[in-house]
Amino acid sequence: MTITSSHLGSPSVWTDARLLCALEEAVEKELNRHLKVAKDWMPHEYVPFSDGRNFPGLFEDGEAWEKDQSKVTEVGRIALVVNLLTEDNLPSYHHEIATLFGRDGAWGTWVHRWTAEEGRHGIVMRDYLLTSRAVDPDKLERFRMAHMSSGFESDNRHSMLHSIAYVAFQELATRISHRNTGHQSGDPVCDRMLARIATDENLHMVFYRNLLKAAFELAPDLTMQAVRDVVVNFRMPGHGIPGFERAAAQMAIGEVYNLRIHLDDVLQPVLRFLKIMEIDGLGTEGRKAQEELGLFLGGLDTEASKFDEKLAARKARMAARASG
């Protein structure tokens, strides 16, 4: 793909390959910072293995799964399945970013490091879910097979800048989803595990957010257009999970992830860091993208307020029924 900017010379023609080279120094800087602050941790230390027991199968003493065997709440159960199935598609995610960013130099080191860190998340979550009997193991495996068999194809694979912008928001969205799932799970063990995962996801967000800032310094018009496109068309990587729309609706009501959370806790923190609405010196297309982004955010806030009102009314009805 070839993209053009009025910056860095006149004219300056950017390709993804040129952008990769231009951002290499920023990638190396962020990689070194990440390696200094990231802490290794052991997935098995977060799983209550002593609570586990056999499922039916090869073991004569296997006990069939029942919903009441776990203390995890219903919304916690739903969110845990969505979050784990999202993590399960790691091979597809690795393929996407390795193809886009390459396997050499600082980019390649980051790709492999990120993949290794993300691998822990699926390991610890599955071990927790099976050991604590929080979900039906047969249904979980069928969902995993269906989801992974479909693979994953990024909406933003056509453009490096769009991909960087997407992961900057997506990593924070994943952090928030994990953290809120822990809060709503009803199990302190689950909450601690997801807090540990959320810490990793936050560091991944910082890496990509800072890289996005560096991209603004290189090609502000193009980066502004990429941010606008990603924000307007954003969807989570797990959207292909069987029954995702229903699960997402239940997670929204359960305050794990909804429009208000998406706007206030995901979009706005990244956009404020970048001072997105204060960037000046943009060309015609950059200013247009900036204006359109502002209009979209205003509309999203209106929609989030409507959702807030509906959620508050629902809570009031439930409280009234409970007291009656």
Annotated binding site for Fe cation: 87, 118, 121, 171, 201, 204
User: Are the C-beta atoms of residues 230 and 162 closer than 8 Å to each other?
Assistant: yes
Q: What whole-number distance in Å separates Cα of residue 277 and Cα of residue 36?
A: 32
DSSP state letters, 285-303: HHHHHHHHHHHHHHHHHHH
User: Are the C-beta atoms of residues 253 and 247 closer than 8 Å to each other?
Assistant: no
- The enclosing H or E element of 214 equals helix 188-218
User: Are the C-beta atoms of residues 96 and 156 closer than 8 Å to each other?
Assistant: no
Closest CA to 300 of 267, 256, 253: 267
How wide is the angle at C-alpha 268 spanned by C-alphas 237 and 176, nearest 5°? Answer: 45
Q: What whole-number distance in Å separates Cα of residue 177 and Cα of residue 185?
A: 12
Q: Is the dihedral of CA 124, 101, 179, 67 positive or negative?
A: negative
Residue with tokens 């597809």: 92
Q: What is the four-CA torsion angle of 297, 298, 303, 304, rounded to 10 degrees?
A: 70
Question: Residues annotated as binding site?
Answer: 87, 118, 121, 171, 201, 204
**Which tokens go with 312?**
């508050």
Closest CA to 52 of 134, 121, 118: 134
User: Are the C-beta atoms of residues 276 and 226 closer than 8 Å to each other?
Assistant: no
Q: Is the dihedral of CA 15, 16, 18, 19 positive or negative?
A: positive
Q: What whole-number distance in Å separates Cα of residue 110 and Cα of residue 15?
A: 21
